Structure formats: C-alpha cells, structure tokens
Chains A and B, each alone.
Chain A
Amino acid sequence: MRRTLLDSLHGPLTEAPPAPDEAALKELAQSVNRAARARLGRSLSIRQVDAGSCNGCELEIHALSNAFYDLERFGLRFVASPRHADVLMVTGPVTKNMREALKRTYEATPDPKWVVAVGGCAADGGIFAGSYAVEGGVKDVVPVDLHIPGCPPNPRQLLAGLLALLQRAA
C-alpha cells in the first residue's frame, strides 16, 4: 500500500483548467452581486441534486473529482447537505415525482445561492419533454443562474461552467 500511496503523490495527471465559458459568464453577470463575492471568498460548496436524470450526468459530475480534473483545487467541493451548500447542481428533466423534493432542497439552501442546471434535459426537459411524468426543465421549478449544455456535458465543459460561476461569485 505504501508504494501505491507514494507513487500517487507525484500528481502528473492533473490538467490545466479550461477557460471559463464565455456564454456562461454572461448569463451569470445578471444574477451575482458584489456582496456575495466578498462573503464567499474563492470557495463554493456544491450540492448535487438528481431531479430525474438518466444518471449519465452524474457519471461525468463524479469524474470532476478524479485526478485529471481535481475540482477541489479551485475551492469547489461537493457537500452532503443543501444546508451546507452555496450552489445546487441540478440534473435531469424535473420529474413530477421529484418536483417537490427539488423545491424543498432549494428552500433548505441558505442565501446567497446559485442554481446550475446541468445537461440538455435540465434546460427544457430534453428528450423527455412532454411526458405525463415530466414537469419540464429546472427553471420551471426553481430559478436557474447557469445552464451547462450537453448529453451529458463532459468534465471539461462542466469545469468551464463552474469556473465561470466561481469568477463571478467569488
């Protein structure tokens, strides 16, 4: 174990961060204010909420924590409770069965807070729009500050979106 542990300290895998997403920056400019920046510092806690996804987005969000992307180096980290979170990262079309749970999770998150809708389904329900069981996109249930498109967005796209959020928010 010692050898494996020591070998892994070299850290040659972590890559340079992608440039923040310009479109995302623009979208955010309207929703973030200076006071919030001062309060948060360069650190954001993220609570992920699956509101009906196929689990594809979750796989790529998980990948953000691997050695290549190393999300925590930017002060971004995933937390276990919405009460500890600054950001809700929501995936999926919002199913009717998850609508109430998503609203409650949003209400449990202290201000100031931001909502990032991840994936094509989270934007407008995607391929599942129009189903009897689907409410629609995330914005139909809670206010959204940033959309990251993709099916699913790959980790670089996720990182670019989150860095844009961090630049504005922190």
Chain B
Amino acid sequence: MIHPRTHVTEDGWREAIGRLAAGSTTLLGLWADGIDVLMAVSLGDSDVSVISYTCRDGRFPSVGAKHPPAIRLERAIQTLFGIEADGAVDKRPWLDLGFWDVAHPLSVIPGRAEGASPESITPALRSMDSGPAASRRPGMTYQFLPVEGEGLHEVAVGPVHAGIIEPGHFRFTANGEHVVRLEQRLGYVHKGIEGLMQGATLAHAAKLAGRTSGDSTVAYTYAFALAAETALEIKAPPRAVYLRALMAELERLANHLGDIGAICNDAAFALMLAHMAVLRERTLRAADACFGHRLMRDVIVPGGVARDIAPAGIAELRALLDTVRTAFPRLKELYDNTASLQDRTVTTGIVKSEYARQFGAGGYVGRASGRAYDARRALRYAPYDGLTFDVPVLEAGDVNARVWIRILEVEQSLALIEQIIGRLPEGPLSVAAEPKGTCEGLAMTEAFRGDVLVWLRLDEQGRVARCHLRDASWFQWPLLETAIEGNIIADFPICNKSFNCSYSGHDL
C-alpha cells in the first residue's frame, strides 16, 4: 500500500526522524520539491508513506544527523536546491564538483555561483581536491575526511578507471595492503536529469527516465510509468502489465548473467566470464527479437507499452529458456567447486546485516546480508501478485553470498519468464495518459540491483512539474565503504563488482 503525501509540522518531521533512528521504519527516499522536503518511509515492508515538510526559512531539521543513510541525500538536496539541513553532520556539497555555472540548479530561484575569492584557497587545500583547480568555481574545494595514524598512505583512484566502467573517485587510506578507510566522491556523470524533467511532456520524461541507468532502462521506465499512472489514476491493460514484467525479468536475467561472469573475472577466472557472456548475449538477442531493442529501451510508456512482442518472440524465449537451463547448472557447479575462486569470494567484502537493515539496502546487497526485501514481493504490484517466485536470502554478506543471490535469482527469473509467456493475456497494449490536473504519484519497481523509486508531480497540462528518481545505489554505495574495510586494496575490484552500483543512476 502506497499512501499519498501528508504534510507535517516540524514536530511531525522530527517524530518521523525518531522512528527512522529507532529502526521502526526504513528510509526509502529523501528529496526536495520547490521549498518542500519529502521523505518516503516504509513501515514493515509493504506500507509506504510520503511525508513532506515546508522549509519556510530554507531549512529543515536534519535527518542524517540521527539516521546516517540520509546523509548523502541531504547533501544532494543542499547542493541542488540550496535548502539546508539543520544540525547536519556533513555539510560538504555532493554531486556538484565545482564545474557548473550555477549553484543550486534546481532551486526555485537559481542563483549564480558564489563563493570565497580564489585567494582564500590555500594551495594545500587545492591539492586535496580530487579534480583540477582550473576552470572550477572559486571557493569550491573539497576536503576528504581526515585519517590519522602511523604508516598510512593514500591511494587516489578515478574518475577515469582502468576498465570499461563508469567514472567516480575513490580515495583509499591504506596501511600496507589493508584498507583503513575508503571514501567515495561521486557526481562525475551528473547530467541534470531531474532538471531536464521539469516541464517535460510525459513521453519525453519517460525517455529521460529510461536513460537514468542504461542497465536498468526497463526498471526505470516501468517505475516511471507506474508513478504516472498512479498520479493520473489510470491502469495499463493486462497484456501491457505482463509484457512489462517479461521485459523486467529479461533485464534481470541479462544483468545477473553478466555480473556473475564479471565478478569471477575479477578473481582472474576468465572461463566463467566467457560462458556467462555467451548466455547474456543470447538473452539480449532474444530481447531484441521480441521487442526490437537489445536493452528494450523506450518500450514501456505511461499508459502501457509502445509495442507488442514480435510474433516469433514466444518461440525465441522458449529457446532461450532451454539454452540457459542446459548450460547454467554446469556453470553453477563450476563456481561452487572451484576452490581457487571461492578463496577469493568467501569472507571477502562483508556487509554487516545491521548495516543492510539500517540503510534499507535493496537487491543482492541487502538479500546477501539477511534483508529479505524485494519490491516485487513487498508491494505486490501486478502481475507479480499473481506469479509464483522465491526471494532468496542469505546471511553471510560476502562477495560469495552476493554471487549466490544472483545465481538463485537467475533461476527465479527463468521460472517467471516461463509463467508469463504461458499466461500472456490478449488485448490492447495501452490506455491514453490524459492530463487530469495537478496530481502526484509514487511507485517502486525491483531492478536487478534493487528497488527503484520514482516520485512525480504533474501540472495542469499533464507535464512533469517535478520528478525524483532514486536508484538502489544511494543506499548501497555507503555500504561498499564499510565492506572494504580491513580487506586488501587488490580485492577492491571484486568487492566493487559484487555490488555493481550504478554511477549514472546515483549521479542523475
């Protein structure tokens, strides 16, 4: 059950913070809209509420001060909207690395960038910054958290990394080989998606949503469409409902297959990558044959789906199921029986279960650390309310557990695809998404890496007045910082790949 927005007073806001801090509710998102800050929380797993607090003097009581998972979200609000969190422990900017022409770009009245004069920045501070001082707005410096102790050294990695991977900056402090602290600095791929959304038509905004994180394009357009449909009080027709889930499971399957191979490859076990990449390719080709695009981009639209599955699609999918079901068990056994590989994955990069709970970590990161949350199960959105599937959960929290969650979910997705194509209803593909005056909607879908949350407010003309997209990565990136502690730097790539957080989905 998803409840619409409730306006609260300062007392109500503080009470909500108290509940988060006590662990009786889970933070699902924290964002701003004009001069309001909004918070989505869940009580239990299935009861989602949105509360909003109007910042009359441009400030709101800090959530992050009492509940750490909110810290980066709050920093993003401060950076993008210029609204300040009172009592915040960390007031450094987030996403803005000092290269934009405007400060607080989403503020109701965007101001030109202002800051301290360049002379006031000492050379020492400049060098601490992860990026070049040239072409930066004056006053934009960034101080990484201090680490003190004997024999410590820093290793700076990124934004351009060694592989075919998204950009981000990692600052390691190490004692010999062992990581004492990792601090991330993200925002390099910030494209201003939420800014571009404002005033966009539903159709254009849906395309933007589908380009928030390319690997989850289905999950994003799915969540965006559901949020818009909630706002407009319309329902996609049954055939569209099933086709959406079919695409979501194909996307999950392709990503999990790719990830299992890539994680093993980071342990120098290239054989698994070679085989998994073949299965992934076959999945993408089947998706292409069914929906005309390998990643199934722009097929889900508000109101339904833009195109039907190709006539030969069902046969393609049955062939895919046969191929994966024949090849996968042997590869699973290979993973399980290769001691040199297990040596790298077992007990590496452990996420403590209390952190997974506190941060509301979704996807394989949460489920490998005992948090049995899956939006498909928790919110029972159609057609998942009528489909049979398990949500695998493990307790170990290491790289191995995150691999196993993916292995088990590959099997679940295969079973789901079979169920969906077995009962795909006939009928129309979409209903019209007509404007119905100012309205709001929130929806969540389960992407392969965890829950995606989309909240939007539409104006009189049915255009997007404000849309917030929250990737699962927001609550997973901070846990990667905890998971690497005490591990060796050489194991960072395998830990990082086992999380496979989205940079673009986070940076927006």
Contact = CB atoms under 8 A, between A and B. Distances in A.
Interface of A: 1, 4-5, 8, 13, 48-63, 65-68, 78, 80-82, 92-93, 95-101, 104-105, 127-128, 130-134, 151-152, 154
Given A54-B212, A60-B294, A95 B274 contact: no
A100 B101 contact: no
A133 B66 CA distance: 31
Interface of B: 97, 99-102, 105, 131-132, 134-135, 159-160, 162-167, 187-193, 195-196, 207-208, 211-215, 217, 258, 271, 274-275, 277-278, 280-281, 284, 288, 294-295, 297, 330-331, 334, 337-338, 502-504
Nearest to B297: A151
A95 B280 contact: no
Contact of B215 (A4, A56, A81, A98): A56
Nearest to A135: B99
Contacts of B102: 132
Contacts of B134: 100
Nearest to A96: B99
Contacts of A151: 297
Contacts of B274: 8, 66-67
A96 B188 CA distance: 8
B195 A132 contact: yes
Nearest to B278: A67
B208 A127 contact: yes
Contacts of B331: 4
A4 B330 contact: yes
A101 B97 CA distance: 12
Q: Lowest 3 CB-CB distances: which A-B pairs, in order?
A: A56-B214, A131-B192, A133-B192
A152 B331 CA distance: 29
Contacts of A58: 164-166, 214
A67 B282 CA distance: 11
A63 B213 contact: no
Given A4-B275, A80-B163, A152-B214, 20 more contacts: A8-B271, A8-B274, A13-B278, A50-B165, A50-B189, A53-B504, A55-B213, A55-B503, A56-B217, A56-B297, A67-B277, A95-B190, A97-B99, A98-B159, A100-B131, A128-B193, A131-B191, A131-B195, A133-B190, A154-B288
Nearest to B164: A48
A52 to B, nearest CB: 5
A99 B167 contact: no
28 contacts: A1-B334, A4-B275, A5-B271, A8-B274, A13-B278, A50-B189, A52-B189, A54-B504, A55-B213, A55-B504, A56-B295, A63-B280, A65-B277, A67-B277, A67-B281, A82-B160, A96-B100, A97-B97, A98-B159, A98-B188, A100-B135, A101-B160, A131-B192, A131-B196, A133-B100, A133-B105, A133-B191, A154-B294
Contacts of A50: 164-167, 189
Given A53-B189, A53-B504, A132 B105 contact: yes
A13 B131 CA distance: 44
Given A55-B504, A96-B100, A133-B191, A63 B277 contact: yes
Contacts of B165: 50, 58
Contacts of B188: 52, 95, 97-98, 101
Contacts of B187: 97
B280 A66 contact: yes
Given A60-B294, A96-B100, A98-B188, A54 B271 contact: no
A97 B100 CA distance: 8
A32 B96 CA distance: 38
A81 B162 contact: yes
Contacts of A92: 189
B105, B190, B214, B295: residue with the most chain A Cβ atoms closer than 10 Å: B214
A92 B166 CA distance: 10
A67 B132 CA distance: 40
Contacts of B166: 50, 53, 55, 58
Contacts of A48: 164
Contacts of B502: 55
Nearest to B163: A80
B189 A97 contact: yes
A22 B164 CA distance: 27
A63 B295 CA distance: 12
Contacts of A82: 160
Contacts of A105: 160
Nearest to A47: B160
A54 B211 contact: yes
A129 B102 CA distance: 16
B163, B192, B275: residue with the most chain A Cβ atoms closer than 10 Å: B192
Contacts of A49: 160
Contacts of A66: 274, 277-278, 280-281
Contacts of B195: 131-133
A62 B105 contact: no
Nearest to A67: B278
A72 to B, nearest CB: 12
Contacts of B163: 80
Contacts of A95: 188-191
Contacts of A52: 188-189, 191
B120 to A, nearest CB: 22
Contacts of A53: 166, 189, 214, 504
A130 B197 CA distance: 12
A8 B189 contact: no
B162 A68 contact: no
A78 B504 CA distance: 22
A63 B164 contact: no
B485 to A, nearest CB: 26
Contact of B159 (A1, A63, A65, A101): A101
Contacts of B105: 132-133
A52 B99 CA distance: 14
